[in-house]
């Protein structure tokens, strides 16, 4: 017998009791939704998860609003309804917590838990889901930045400085975030430190590509998962959260660029440098795509096995994109094909017996992370900032040089998001275990 069916209490005060139990249902569903959203899932997963929890605990009617900074739910039983709201913390990416939450939500949705048991299960997920030690995460960030550097075409002399600068920057990021510093301020500070160290060390070692090294050292700050989630939310009919996520991504890129720009001024670099047309063999692109995606798997708190799958997805993505570019396709078309190939393989991987959704959409996104044009975004924003200088020379030239970078960012991210979303929609797998 559930709490909603308690005859003795109903006889005492049926209206008050029903509202009390509806409140417990609402607060449990809100907590599950908040944890899911903070783990980096898309809006539809949050909506479905909250609905499953509420109905599994006995609600007849469920209405949900998913926002960037808050969640609201109205639950009803018979003629009784109640509405509650909760705030949402920083949006991160945590696959191990994500999977644990989906298991709990699936169990609650089957009616196998009371409200108290559901809250205890959510407590256990928050308390027991581990993370990698921050020095290991910092090292992984540095490795990812070094791999990005090779994908961007930096020479070998700059690889070590980029790795060290990225790792130091991630360490600073960890400690500033732990002290509650604003996320955008953290991005600017970390970008300044990482870019300054990478460029100075590259110059000291005789590298001829300090500008590219600066960009590579800060690419761990580019919110690729949130950018793709924003597009997915809008495509799936939830533009409010998608638009908020897109604005947040834009703000992060602006502050990242400010940090790089200040580092350039500090070192006396007045030109942002050019984005190289990298012509590397497919094995090279696949190798460093795998390294970058696997390293991001550590940042996203993947399990060890899933990190290996992320590396394989990154290798596949860069291989398909390189084949497309070699065939004369545009960057956008090649990126779309690569993202679609990764999404198909990830969906197929989930069909293998032995576990529920080894990686799902988050694994597919991690595989596509090396294709996110973070350097182009930084160049575009720095070009726009240059247009605001009072003594600018040849503004038409600067504008014409900036526009291609901006268009490349928009169209490439759009192509990657479309490839992932179309395949996911056509080959849809359950978001929660049955």
Burial category of 396 from C-beta neighbours within 10 Å (exposed 0-12, middle 13-18, buried 19 and up): exposed
d(CA 173, CA 129): 21
Question: Which of 213-222, 297-306, 372-381 comes out lowest in average pLDDT?
Answer: 372-381
Cβ pair 76, 22 in contact under 8 A: yes
Q: What is the largest CA-CA distance in the chain?
A: 84
User: Helices 360-368 & 282-299, crossing angle to 10 degrees?
Assistant: 130
CA atoms within 13 Å, Cβ hemisphere of 132: 22
Whole-angstrom distance, CA of residue 381 vs CA of residue 408: 13
Name which of 130-134, 139-143, 220-224 the model is least confident about: 220-224
- pLDDT tens sequence across 217-254: 999 998 888 888 898 899 888 888 999 999 999 899 88
Q: Count Cβ neighbours within 10 Å for each residue of 116-132 and write b for 16 or more, e otherwise.
A: eebbebbeebeeebeeb
| pLDDT band of 6, cuts 50, 70, 90 | very low
Query: How far, in Å, CA of 165 to CA of 144, rounded?
Result: 11
Give the integer Cα–Cα distance in Å for 431 and 109. 12
pLDDT score, position 54 = 94
Determine what percent of the chain is predicted with pLDDT higher than 70.
91
- Give the model's pLDDT for residue 112: 82
Most confident region among 26-35, 250-259, 267-276 by mean pLDDT: 26-35
Range with the poorest average pLDDT among 9-23, 296-310, 341-355, 399-413: 9-23
pTM beyond 0.75: the answer is: yes
Q: What is the pLDDT of residues 103-130, one digit of tens each?
A: 999 999 998 888 899 999 999 999 999 8
**Three-state DSSP class for 319?**
helix
- Give the Cα-Cα-Cα angle 43, 46, 50 (nearest 5 degrees): 145
Which DSSP string corresponds to 217-261? Answer: HTGGGS-HHHHHHHHHHHHTT-HHHHHHHHHHHHHHHHHHHHHHH
Closest listed residue to residue 149, CA positions, set 326, 370, 307, 297: 370
The residue among 205 and 5 whose pLDDT is bigger is 205
pLDDT above 70 (res 10): no
Q: For residue 314, give Cα distances in angstroms to 56, 342, 350, 375.
A: 38, 8, 17, 18
Is it the case that residue 5 has pLDDT exceeding 50? no
Supply the pLDDT for residue 8: 37
State the residue for tokens 């699936």.
106
pLDDT, residue 15, reads 55
Hey, what domains does the chain have and what are their CATH numbers? 13-128 (3.30.1300), 134-426 (no CATH)
**Residue pair 43/67 in contact by the 8 Å Cβ criterion:** no
Residue 265: count of CB within 10 angstroms of its CB? 10
* pLDDT per position as a tens digit, 374-431: 777 777 777 777 777 677 777 777 777 778 888 888 888 889 989 988 988 887 777 7
In Å, how far are 239, 273, 387 from 390, measured between CA atoms? Answer: 38, 21, 8
Interval 191-209 mean pLDDT: 93
- Which structure tokens are listed for 96? 């191990």
pLDDT at 4: 44
């Amino acid at each position: 017998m559930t709490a909603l069916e308690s005859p003795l209490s109903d006889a005492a005060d049926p209206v008050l009791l029903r509202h009390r139990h509806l409140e417990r249902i609402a607060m449990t569903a809100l907590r599950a939704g908040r944890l899911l959203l903070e783990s980096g899932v898309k809006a539809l997963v949050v909506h479905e998860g909250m609905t499953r929890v509420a109905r599994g605990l006995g609600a007849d009617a469920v209405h949900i609003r998913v926002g960037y900074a808050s969640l609201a739910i109205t639950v009803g039983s018979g003629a009784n309804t109640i509405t509650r709201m909760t705030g949402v913390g920083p949006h991160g990416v945590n696959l191990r917590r994500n999977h644990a939450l989906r298991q709990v939500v699936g169990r609650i949705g089957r009616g196998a838990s009371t409200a108290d048991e559901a809250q205890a299960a959510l407590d256990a997920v928050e308390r027991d889901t581990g993370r990698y030690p921050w020095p290991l995460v910092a090292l992984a960030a540095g490795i990812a930045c070094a791999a990005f550097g090779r994908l961007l075409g930096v020479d070998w002399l700059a690889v070590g400085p980029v790795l060290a600068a990225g790792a130091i920057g991630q360490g600073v990021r960890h400690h500033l975030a732990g002290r509650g510093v604003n996320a955008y301020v953290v991005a600017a500070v970390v970008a300044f430190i990482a870019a300054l160290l990478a460029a100075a060390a590259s110059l000291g070692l005789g590298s001829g590509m300090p500008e590219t090294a600066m960009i590579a050292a800060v690419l761990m700050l580019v919110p690729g998962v949130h950018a793709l989630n924003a597009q997915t939310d809008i495509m799936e009919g939830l533009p409010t959260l998608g638009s908020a996520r897109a604005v947040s991504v834009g703000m992060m890129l602006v502050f990242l660029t400010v940090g790089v720009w200040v580092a350039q001024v500090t070192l006396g670099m007045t030109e942002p440098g050019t984005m190289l047309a990298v012509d590397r063999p497919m094995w090279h692109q696949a190798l460093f795509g795998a390294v970058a995606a696997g390293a991001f798997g550590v940042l996203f708190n993947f399990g060890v096995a899933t990190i290996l799958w992320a590396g394989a997805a990154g290798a596949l993505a860069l291989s398909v994109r390189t084949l497309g570019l070699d065939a004369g396709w545009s960057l956008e078309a090649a990126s779309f094909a690569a993202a679609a190939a990764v999404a198909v393989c990830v969906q197929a991987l989930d069909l293998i017996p032995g576990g529920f959704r080894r990686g799902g959409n988050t694994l597919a996104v991690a595989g596509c992370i090396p294709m996110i044009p973070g350097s182009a975004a930084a160049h575009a924003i720095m070009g726009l900032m240059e247009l605001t200088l009072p003594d600018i020379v040849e503004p038409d030239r600067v504008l014409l040089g900036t526009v291609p970078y901006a268009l490349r960012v928009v169209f490439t991210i759009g192509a990657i998001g479309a490839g992932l979303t179309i395949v996911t929609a056509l080959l849809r797998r359950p978001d929660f275990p049955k």
